[in-house]
Structures are given as C-alpha cells and as structure tokens.
Structure 1
C-alpha cells in the first residue's frame, strides 16, 4: 500500500523561516557569549597591566620581566594571572588578603624576585676576560 502525505502549500516557507529564526537565535546567543568572554578578558587585562606597572615600580625592571614575575607567581600560587594581579593591586591599595593568598604571594614573590635579580645581575655582569695569548708558544 502506498501512502501519500499532503503538505500545506506554504510548508517550505514556514520551515525555512523557523530554521532561520533558530539559526539567528543560536548566532545571537553565541555572539553574546563571545562578547561576555571578551569583556572578562579585557577586565583581566586591565588589572594585569596595573599590577605590571606596580611591579615595575617596586622592582625596577621593564615590562617583560614584570609580567614574567607575575606569571611565575601565578604558577606558584596555582591561581590565574588576573587573580594574582588583582591580589597585588588590592595589597597595594591596602586591602587585606586572605591568609592563603598572603602566604602564597609572599613566598612566590620572594622566589620570583630572587630569580629576577639573578637574571638581571647575569645580564649586567661584564663578559669573562679572554686570555690574551701572550706567553704561549
């Protein structure tokens, strides 16, 4: 037995319109999520830049070493770079830190500063004197 189904005359138009609305809805939701993500990233970037500036003042260094120092601290504290940067800014502004963050930040900052100064001393040291070659046959 062969069955035939009749579709309404404008079924394709309605189906296409419904699909387009769903696609626009998905695209709009995707774009909203992307915008929210970019806003969070930009806010995190601002606090990172502020903390880099503070480190550059406290440990006289350039931007690259200051950012590397913050990255080292974030790795040692097992925290994100924006979180560590926000903690540095908060400490600078006199806000109390949690005991865990205070301990981790103090330890990580001390370690990172030692490494920064060691690298700085290595760059500033004069190259080793080469043998003059006099007195050799």
Structure 2
C-alpha cells in the first residue's frame, strides 16, 4: 500500500503532466494564431493589435473558436478553401476596418 507521501507525489506528477500538455497545446495554438495575425496584417494592412481584434471579431461573429478561425485562414496557404462563414465575416470585418480608417 502506497504511503500518503507517495500518493501526494503521484498526484503532483499527474498534475504537472497535464499542465505540460496544456502549455504545449497553447504554444501550438499561439503559433497558428500569430501566423493568421500576420496574414491579416498583410491583407488589411494594419497593426498587429488591429489584426488581433479583427480575428477575435470574426471568431465571435461566427461563433467559432479563435484557434479554428486562425487554422482555417493559415490553411489557405496550402490551397485549402476558407469556409464560407469565415470568408463572409472576414470580408465584413475588413470592410469595417477600412471604413474606420477612412472615417
């Protein structure tokens, strides 16, 4: 029968592994979001902050996670088609951005 100290150590190891996996996923997600942000900066053109806001807006208006919007946008560099809902909302967001710059 394991001691209380052994059980506590085992619980800590399990927790640390879970946190490590979560951080790994966050880093991978962050990379694709940063790539999408760069694409928006070229398309718009706009600052990094405005590109972030635009991606967040598209995500919220489509009710699609930001990482999934970013993944779909980055996939277009490999000849993937941007889903219609995201394409439509991205177009709207870009128009709003350009209108705000003119106004």
**2:81 equivalent to 1:73:** no
**Count of aligned pairs:** 103
More helix by share: 2
**1:92: how far off?**
2.5
Q: Is the 8 A contact 1:76 1:104 kept in 2?
A: no
Unaligned segments of structure 2, at least 5 residues: none
Tell me what 1:29 maps to.
Answer: 14
**2:97 equivalent to 1:112:** no
TM-score by length of 1: 0.70
| CA deviations over 1:9-40 (Å, ceiling 9, x no partner) | xxxxx8xx710110011000001111111111
Pairwise mapping of residues 29-68 of structure 1 onto structure 2 (< 5 A)?
A: 29-68=14-53
For 2:67, which of 82, 92, 107 is the aligned residue?
Answer: 82
Tell me what 1:18 maps to.
Answer: 3
Task: Report 1 or 2 for greater relative contact order, CA contacts < 8 Å, sequence distance ≥ 6.
Answer: 2
**2:75 equivalent to 1:94:** no
Q: 1:110 to 1:96 in 2, by over 3 A?
A: closer
Runs of 4+ in 1 over 2 A off after TM superposition: none
Unaligned segments of structure 1, at least 5 residues: 1-13, 123-137
